């Protein structure tokens, strides 16, 4: 028997030995604790699983795999209910009456996607029940139970009733048809268009499993800087194959729609949204797509933004463009997700104000199946930004959150940065739009303005790297995004804890220090890149490393000097009424708090204020010293992360440990690069010495300015 | 104890479950046969391993891994010799005297890289001995023993004495600095320049292991369409890290040198090889490289070929260019590998003749550390080409073979084609230059003209795909290339047998049919793409699919119509004295045989002859019917491959079976596409019906001509 089991798991003919990481948080490590194992074994003695759909088939396979791996034995199921069952997994309609009594009230409040996991007493026996109203709830319930067990939690009197708080929980892949990924740092696009539709890469399934395990139910496959070819029959056939691979995991496929597609692939001479031919073309295209993919999600659109075509090319506005597409998709229940990331080279106003200025007046004019997708901040996914003032300001429009999981401005995939901490900060931010407590989370989940259609998107950090995300710890950002899209009120600490246990170890000597490392990592990157509200001082194009000196790009608002405005007097962007008055887009009392440097949170100080170098910070330091000390603090924090990680060696494999260690080495090198390059540059204006405690740069400013990275990853493709 | 072992191999925290294929032919499947297991166990009872270098460390680790996996237990070593040893692994210098007696003669004839594996009787006891003169021989010996065991062969009276017949056994990666791979179909470049030098991807080590296991000892990291940046300090530091990762596996690193580098990165105004400043620049560059990488292999150069700069830009010739670099590398024992793949847009002569015409007159003029690397045929890696007439024609110059492992003209990574069959055909070809038996293999291994410096290069088919090569069976082409570079006289059948057993199964019900499938697969692709000597009728640029109609490219010799010359009279390229007289480059009696269509092997018929559509083939069919039937035969052969594979289901895992099945589906679709598109096109000239037995096309010629593949993989990068 033992030998049999060993062959099952060791035969290299079936599964290869690869470096850790491919399994993500679904490794399902064997349970070694005897008491826990006994308890889990008991629950798995006789499992009734009602399986009559492809989603339920996926759920059953996952349970077989997960339980089998944790219990280290083959797991079987029975296909009829009996009192001998120790576990019962069935939808509401298939539940035994006695069990039904215990879960009926729960089922009434969890909607289509929720689930109940409950230990139910039946004839003096504990039965573990997973139930739901729909198949997808069962799948989510199975994944939740497995994670619960991965966290080594006790099953006795378990009672988990949960349902997602946001309807569309979505990944945005910025993947190009040539498989490059814009701002992708984990290799290349998962989508092997050349081999589709016939060849279904095993990775597509494992990707879908990972998404379903955290509740992601929508993916946009292609870059928002879109190529119209994706809408041609040759590609739609391939998209269909992906949609079919994802469907058993409850995931709907969306595509980015290039606004000029009617011209580029339709042979029309215009893409004017008020042109009847153009409208007909989109109507026909929608019909063509839905004939192949009946549950197609809809279009994600970047229009009149950074050179992408849009309705303004024809003197029309965003409402005209979005509603034209929305009308085409409406018969099929498809959605238009229209991005609000716009700023114009012809508008001299502060870039931070432009999206608000342009979109808020349209509130209430979009069709019902349009969502407006808004980045978390008004600039562009900086290490820290104040929340976007559009949140809460369009009560009659469903506003969808766009977070960036890929680390465009956060060290690519070589820096360990736990982003749920950033996401949480945004979601917890108070807009005050309906009084205190009007948090961004309440805008996004629809509760503030009573919305049903809600959504949260994350720009994916996933690629062809063996470990999916380049950095093993970047998996936590995919994981954490999914968890927050499911429940935007979860704490980053809970998420870190769950992820560490599922991915690495339950040993408290590991979980504690690593959780602490995760939770401080985001502040570290803010400190060594953009402290005290500095922002967008990255090198050009690829955004790899510091470039505060860059000032000669054609569009003023693409230059770092536009954002930090360092001069001999001081540094920072005055966004108060004496400056761009961007603060007027925020509600009171927040607006007044931001306007006064004495009440403005210091982490946003230079975002909103231009202050002299000898301005006194709350800790008594001058601004110059404070900036320098923050940069040093960031470097020190990375040093601390290394110390923490060094001590973790006993708890994980050598390969796992070494991999992260090598990456931390890069992170430390680059943190010092940021500190030295930025301080040397700002020093040319401040003309002040570095304060005590800040390490002296070993290179010159000229050296840092001379660095060129022609082949930094993630650059926009040349066909665009 | 058993539980301990199980944790070792099952803990998902260390190794993830991924689809098969990552392990290549190094899966080391558990030995299930009881008698064999007993025998192997006995040999592994007490292993003396003399380990005192990084190469020996690599060898010992591999033995521990391989034996451990096959025996399914942890394997230990002793560090001192005793009569209790069942296995002894030591270099000549470390051998016990009694053992030495049995292997001394063998050691004398195996040189630096060879090995002896021998069962030696010592005091009535059989001891398995692996010995060699140098560390690298031990590494090769360990890999050979492991493969021997993977083939389930008996150890009793084992006696393997082997040494490589070719000195430089090399992979050429056509990898660009942006990680695209020219004509790469297995994802993207393994080399993650962004994370080097700090981050050593586990794949680098597994890549080196795989290479060492088949004797590959040299790799050129970068595309022959070169970018000079690779020679800058920033990149050399990264190259150094790779060289250090590969060194324990006996692999030397080469780089492609862009001829104009002195201008592009050196700030000079010329790259003239007779200019003293230019010479000094290369001398300095060589010194700079060797300071970092003491065992750097040298430069691989594509010059004055397809737009690459070269000595002719300055009125100099290939000898001037190669010798300039050779002088720079000579003090460090570095080599220049100068490619002979040249053809000029200004030369109206048959492209097939140009490399010979240009290079043969230089015979004897190159410095001693220059090798001239020549593609196997005179055109460009076609499914079938006559051997390149340069082989044997330059007796005073080391000629290095360039094979293409990546399937540029052989169906990318979706067609199952076993290339050792192609390589064998070339190596076995008789040049007749020193009488009958003057095979290409004897040119390449140096025996025909008594050369010590010898080499064989293969353009790699390796990328970031989980299974390395895109198609699981394309691994066999990497494997087979390495084996033939070690011993160009190996049969493709032996190679197929070895690879199947190491990769999949030793079950004769699997090995037999799959070996047969491999051995016929190359003829199948010739039949459905380029039968009877047709060549270079691929679609433009990407070479994906048929494009016999392409006729409007700027350079005449880039057009398929240049090669097939189909007209109302007939089809084929007259290369006899009535045509381009390319046959004069071959020795007698081959030349005369090729000149006469009645004696020309029919597989080369249309390569050398333009013949009427009603020309009678040896089987009695007209040429038109013969072409059509060959296309159909190719399609039928793919059908047969599917039937074979269908029957293999019981012998491998479901995932393995399904993966190949999906790929065969694409291959069949594309074989039909080739047949239909080519026959419809040629029919416009032949004006004849398809013969009986050939399936009617279901699409029109216009449809096939309309197909466009803007994002086919492997296209040349845009920065080039």
Tell me whether residues A199 and B663 touch, CB distance under 8 A.
yes
Name the residue of chain B whose CA is nearest to A17's CA.
B15
Give tens-digit pLDDT for A433-449: 999 999 999 999 999 99
Give the three-state DSSP class for B632: helix
Strands (E), B478-624: 570-571, 611-612
Tell me whether residues B29 and A15 touch, CB distance under 8 A.
no
The whole-number pLDDT of residue B718 equals: 57
Share of chain A above pLDDT 90, in %: 93
Instruction: Give yes or no: residues B286 and B428 share one domain.
Output: yes
Chosen from A4, A8, A10, A17 to mutate, greatest number of chain B CBs within 10 A? A17
Q: Is B105 touching A (CB cutoff 8 A)? A: no
Indicate if A198 belongs to the active site.
no
Instruction: Give yes or no: residues B435 and B473 share one domain.
Output: yes
Query: What's the residue count for chain A?
Result: 720
Instruction: Give yes or no: residues A156 and A196 share one domain.
Output: no
Give the three-state DSSP class for B10: helix
Peptide bond into A196 cis (omega under 30): no
Q: Is residue A517 part of a domain?
A: no
Query: How many structural domains comprise chain A?
Result: 3
Instruction: Give yes or no: residues B382 and B422 share one domain.
Output: yes
Per-window interface: A 17-46 vs B, CB < 8 A? 17-23, 27-30
Q: Is B172 touching A (CB cutoff 8 A)? A: no
Q: Which residues of A touch B200 (CB under 8 A)?
A: 662
Two structure tokens written together for A518? 């995760």
Name the residue of chain B whose CA is nearest to A66's CA.
B12
Tell me whether residues B465 and A464 touch, CB distance under 8 A.
yes
The whole-number pLDDT of residue A1 equals: 29
CATH (domain of A441): 3.20.20.80
Give tens-digit pLDDT for B33-79: 999 999 999 999 999 998 999 999 999 999 999 999 999 999 999 98
Neighbours of A555 (CB within 10 A): 13
Write the burial class of residue B81 (CB in 10 Å: 0-12 exposed, 13-18 middle, 19+ buried). Answer: middle
Tell me whether residues B653 and A14 touch, CB distance under 8 A.
yes
Write the burial class of residue A76 (CB in 10 Å: 0-12 exposed, 13-18 middle, 19+ buried). Answer: exposed
Give the up-direction half-sphere exposure of residue B665: CA atoms within 13 A in the CB hemisphere. 13
DSSP-derived secondary structure letter, A464: S
Q: Is residue B604 part of a domain?
A: no
- A636–chain B nearest CA distance, Å: 20
Give tens-digit pLDDT for A291-314: 999 999 999 999 999 999 999 999
At residue B278 the predicted structure's pLDDT band, cuts being 50, 70 and 90, is: very high
Instruction: Give yes or no: residues A268 and A366 share one domain.
Output: yes
Q: Are strands A115-122 and A159-162 parallel, antiparallel or unpaired?
A: antiparallel
- B202–chain A nearest CA distance, Å: 7
Tell me whether residues A16 and B11 touch, CB distance under 8 A.
no
What is chain A's percent helix, strand, coil content, to nearest 5? 45, 10, 45
Tell me whether residues A23 and B17 touch, CB distance under 8 A.
yes
Tell me whether residues B16 and A2 touch, CB distance under 8 A.
no
Share of chain B above pLDDT 90, in %: 93
Overall average pLDDT of the B384-390 stretch? 98
Instruction: Give yes or no: residues B369 and B476 share one domain.
Output: yes
Instruction: Give yes or no: residues B147 and B203 share one domain.
Output: no
Q: Is residue B4 part of a domain?
A: no
Give tens-digit pLDDT for B324-367: 999 999 999 999 999 999 998 888 999 999 999 999 999 999 99
- Which residues are within 8 A (CB) of A102 and not within 5 positions of it... i.e. 6 or more apart? A118, A120, A121, A129
Q: Which of B441, B553, B478, B442 is nearest to B215 (CA)?
A: B478
CATH (domain of B105): 3.30.379.10
CATH (domain of A531): 3.90.1330.10
Residue where a domain stops, chosen among A474, A491, A508: A491
Give tens-digit pLDDT for B95-137: 999 999 999 999 999 999 999 999 999 888 999 999 999 999 9
Give tens-digit pLDDT for B492-523: 999 999 999 999 999 999 999 999 999 999 99
Give the three-state DSSP class for B638: helix
Phi and psi at residue B301, in whole multiples of 5°? -130, 130
Strands (E), A132-225: 159-162, 168-172, 218-220
Tell me whether residues B15 and A18 touch, CB distance under 8 A.
yes
| Position with higher pLDDT, A156 vs A519 | A519
Neighbours of B442 (CB within 10 A): 21
DSSP string, B142-189: HHHHHHHHHTT---TT-EEEE--SSSEEEEE--B-TTS-BTT--SSS-
Residue where a domain stops, chosen among A145, A162, A179: A162
Q: How far apart are CA B358 and CA B373, in angstroms?
A: 14
Give tens-digit pLDDT for A187-233: 999 999 999 999 999 999 999 999 999 999 999 999 999 999 999 99
- The DSSP H or E segment spanning A336 is strand A335-339
Q: What is the mean pLDDT of chain A?
A: 95
DSSP-derived secondary structure letter, A297: -
Nearest by CB to A195, from B2, B10, B414: name it.
Answer: B414
Q: Report long-range pairs for A664-670 (Cβ below 8 Å, ≥24 apart).
A: A664/A416, A664/A638, A665/B198, A666/A414, A666/A415, A666/B195, A666/B198, A666/B199, A667/A411, A667/A414, A667/A415, A667/A416, A667/A638, A667/A641, A668/A635, A668/A638, A668/A639, A668/A642, A669/B198, A670/A411, A670/A414, A670/A415, A670/A545
Two structure tokens written together for B235? 């990149």
Q: Is residue B593 part of a domain?
A: no
Q: How far apart are CA B270 and CA B264, in angstroms?
A: 10
Q: How far apart are CA B216 and CA A390, in angstroms?
A: 60
Per-window interface: A 380-399 vs B, CB < 8 A? none
Overall average pLDDT of the B263-291 stretch? 98
Q: Is B419 touching A (CB cutoff 8 A)? A: no
- B47, B142 contact by CB (below 8 A): no
ipTM of the complex: 0.95
Overall average pLDDT of the A124-138 stretch? 96
Q: Is A706 touching B (CB cutoff 8 A)? A: no
Q: How far apart are CA A110 and CA A451, in angstroms?
A: 17
Instruction: Give yes or no: residues A196 and A232 share one domain.
Output: yes
Instruction: Give yes or no: residues B486 and B532 share one domain.
Output: no
Indicate if A695 belongs to the active site.
no
Enzyme catalytic residues of B: 306, 380, 408
Q: How far apart are CA B354 and CA B352, in angstroms?
A: 6
Q: Which of B538, B603, B599, B572 is nearest to B387 (CA)?
A: B603
pLDDT above 90 for A700 = yes
Tell me whether residues B195 and A666 touch, CB distance under 8 A.
yes
Q: How far apart are CA B605 and CA B564, in angstroms?
A: 11
At residue A717 the predicted structure's pLDDT band, cuts being 50, 70 and 90, is: low
Neighbours of A141 (CB within 10 A): 24
- B441–chain A nearest CA distance, Å: 35
Tell me whether residues A30 and B16 touch, CB distance under 8 A.
no
- Which residues are within 8 A (CB) of B82 and not within 5 positions of it... i.e. 6 or more apart? B46, B48
Q: Is residue B639 part of a domain?
A: yes
Chosen from A8, A16, A664 to mutate, greatest number of chain B CBs within 10 A? A16
Instruction: Give yes or no: residues B119 and B183 share one domain.
Output: no
Name the residue of chain A whose CA is nearest to B19's CA.
A15
Overall average pLDDT of the A511-526 stretch? 98
H helix runs in B48-117, sequence order:
54-71, 97-108
DSSP string, B163-174: --SSSEEEEE--
Q: Which of A475, A419, A422, A481 is nearest to A456 (CA)?
A: A481
Q: Is residue B11 part of a domain?
A: no
Q: Is A5 touching B (CB cutoff 8 A)? A: yes
| SS3 labels along A343-394 | CCCCCCCCHHHHHHHHHHHHCCCCCCCEEEEEECCCCCCCCCCCCCCCCCCC
Place of tokens 């700002």: A682
Nearest by CB to B202, from A2, A193, A655: name it.
Answer: A655
Work out the angle at residue A510's Cα, subtended by the Cα atoms of residues A504 and A512, and round it to the nearest 5 degrees. 115
Q: What is the CA radius of gyration of chain A?
A: 26
Q: Is residue A592 part of a domain?
A: no
At residue A79 the predicted structure's pLDDT band, cuts being 50, 70 and 90, is: confident
Residue where a domain stops, chosen among B117, B139, B162: B162
Name the residue of chain B whose CA is nearest to A661's CA.
B199
Q: How far apart are CA A318 and CA A310, in angstroms?
A: 8
Q: How far apart are CA A103 and CA A122, in angstroms?
A: 13
Q: How far apart are CA A433 and CA A586, in angstroms?
A: 9
Q: Is residue A678 part of a domain?
A: yes
Instruction: Give yes or no: residues A422 and A282 share one domain.
Output: yes
Neighbours of A126 (CB within 10 A): 16
Two structure tokens written together for A648? 């973790």
Instruction: Give yes or no: residues B180 and B152 share one domain.
Output: no
Two structure tokens written together for A292? 């192949």
Q: How far apart are CA B137 and CA B77, in angstroms?
A: 19
DSSP string, A45-68: SSEEE---SHHHHHHHHHHHHHHH
- The DSSP H or E segment spanning B351 is helix B351-359
Q: Is B475 touching A (CB cutoff 8 A)? A: no
Domain enclosing residue B74, as ranges: 26-162
Q: Which residue in A72, A206, A295, A306 is the catalytic one?
A: A306
Q: Which residues of A touch B27 (CB under 8 A)?
A: 12-13, 16
- B527, B633 contact by CB (below 8 A): yes
Query: What's the residue count for chain B?
Result: 720
Q: How far apart are CA B154 and CA B151, in angstroms?
A: 9
The whole-number pLDDT of residue B276 equals: 98
Give tens-digit pLDDT for B453-471: 999 999 999 999 999 999 9
Q: Which residues of B touch A195 (CB under 8 A)?
A: 414, 663, 666
H helix runs in A78-201, sequence order:
97-108, 135-150
Work out the angle at residue B493's Cα, subtended by the Cα atoms of residues B491 and B498, and round it to the nearest 5 degrees. 100
Q: How far apart are CA B316 and CA A618, in angstroms?
A: 71
Give tens-digit pLDDT for B639-691: 999 999 999 999 999 999 999 999 999 999 999 999 999 999 999 999 999 99
pLDDT above 50 for A567 = yes
């Amino acid at each position: 028997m033992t030998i049999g089991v060993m062959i099952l798991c060791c035969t290299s003919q079936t599964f290869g030995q690869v470096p850790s990481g491919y399994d993500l948080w679904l490794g399902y490590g064997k349970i070694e604790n005897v008491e826990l194992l006994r308890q889990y074994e008991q629950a798995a003695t006789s499992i009734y699983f009602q399986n009559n759909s492809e989603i339920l088939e996926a759920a059953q396979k996952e349970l077989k795999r997960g339980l089998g791996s944790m219990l280290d034995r083959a797991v079987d199921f029975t296909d009829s209910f009996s009192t001998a069952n120790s576990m019962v997994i069935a939808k509401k309609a298939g539940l035994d009456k006695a069990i039904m009594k215990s879960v009926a009230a729960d089922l009434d409040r969890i909607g289509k996607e929720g689930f109940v996991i409950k230990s139910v007493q039946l004839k003096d026996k504990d039965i573990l029940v997973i139930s739901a109203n729909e198949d997808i709830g069962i799948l989510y319930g199975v994944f939740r139970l497995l994670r619960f067990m991965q966290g080594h939690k006790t099953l006795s009197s378990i009672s988990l009733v949960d349902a997602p708080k946001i309807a569309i929980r979505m990944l945005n892949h910025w993947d190009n048809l040539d498989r490059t990924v814009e701002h992708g740092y984990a290799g290349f696009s998962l989508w092997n268009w050349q081999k589709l539709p016939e060849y279904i890469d095993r990775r597509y399934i494992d990707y879908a499993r990972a998404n379903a395990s955290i509740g992601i139910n929508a993916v946009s496959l292609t870059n928002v800087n879109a190529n119209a070819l994706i809408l041609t029959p040759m590609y739609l056939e391939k998209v269909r194959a992906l949609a079919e691979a994802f469907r058993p995991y409850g995931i709907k496929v969306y595509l980015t729609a290039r606004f000029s597609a009617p011209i580029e692939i339709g042979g029309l001479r215009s893409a004017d949204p008020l042109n009847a031919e153009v409208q007909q073309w989109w109507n026909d295209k929608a019909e063509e797509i839905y004939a192949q993919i009946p549950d197609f999600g809809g279009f994600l659109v970047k229009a009149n933004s950074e050179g992408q075509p849009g309705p303004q090319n024809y003197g029309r506005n965003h409402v005209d463009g979005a509603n034209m597409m929305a009308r085409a998709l409406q018969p099929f229940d498809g959605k238009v997700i229209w991005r609000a990331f716009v700023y114009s080279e012809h508008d001299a106003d502060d870039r931070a104000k432009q999206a608000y200025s342009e979109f808020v007046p349209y509130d209430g004019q979009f069709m019902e199946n349009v969502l407006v997708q808004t980045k978390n901040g008004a600039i562009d996914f900086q290490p820290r930004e104040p929340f976007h003032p559009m949140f809460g300001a369009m009560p009659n429009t469903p506003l969808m959150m766009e977070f960036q999981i890929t680390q465009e401005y956060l060290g690519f995939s070589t820096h360990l940065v736990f982003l749920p901490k950033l996401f949480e900060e945004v979601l917890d931010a108070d807009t005050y739009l309906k009084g205190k407590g009007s948090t961004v989370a309440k805008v996004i989940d629809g509760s503030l303005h009573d919305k049903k259609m809600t959504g949260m998107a994350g720009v994916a950090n996933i690629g062809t790297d063996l470990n999916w995300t380049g950095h093993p710890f970047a998996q936590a950002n995919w994981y954490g995004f999914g968890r927050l899209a499911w429940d935007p009120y979860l704490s980053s600490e809970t998420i870190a804890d769950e992820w560490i246990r599922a991915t690495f170890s339950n040993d408290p000597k590991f979980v504690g220090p690593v959780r602490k490392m995760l939770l401080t990592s985001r502040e570290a990157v803010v400190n060594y890149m953009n402290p005290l509200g500095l922002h967008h001082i990255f090198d050009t194009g690829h955004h790899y490393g510091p470039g505060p000196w860059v000032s000669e790009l054609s569009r003023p608002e693409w230059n770092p000097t536009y954002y930090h405005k360092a001069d001999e007097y001081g540094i920072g962007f005055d966004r108060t009424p004496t400056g761009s008055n961007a603060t007027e887009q925020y509600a009171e009392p927040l607006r007044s708090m931001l306007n006064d440097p004495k009440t403005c949170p210091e982490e946003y100080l230079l975002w909103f204020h231009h202050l002299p170098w000898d301005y006194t910070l709350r800790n008594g330091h001058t601004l110059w010293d404070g900036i320098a000390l923050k940069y040093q603090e960031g470097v020190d924090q990375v040093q601390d992360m290394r110390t923490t990680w060094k001590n973790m060696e006993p708890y994980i494999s050598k390969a796992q440990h070494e991999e992260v260690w090598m990456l931390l080495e890069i992170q430390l090198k680059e943190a010092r690069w940021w500190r030295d390059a930025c301080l040397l540059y700002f020093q040319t204006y401040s003309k002040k010495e570095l304060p005590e405690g800040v390490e002296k740069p070993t290179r010159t400013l000229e050296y840092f300015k001379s660095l060129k990275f022609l082949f930094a990853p993630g650059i926009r493709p040349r066909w665009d």
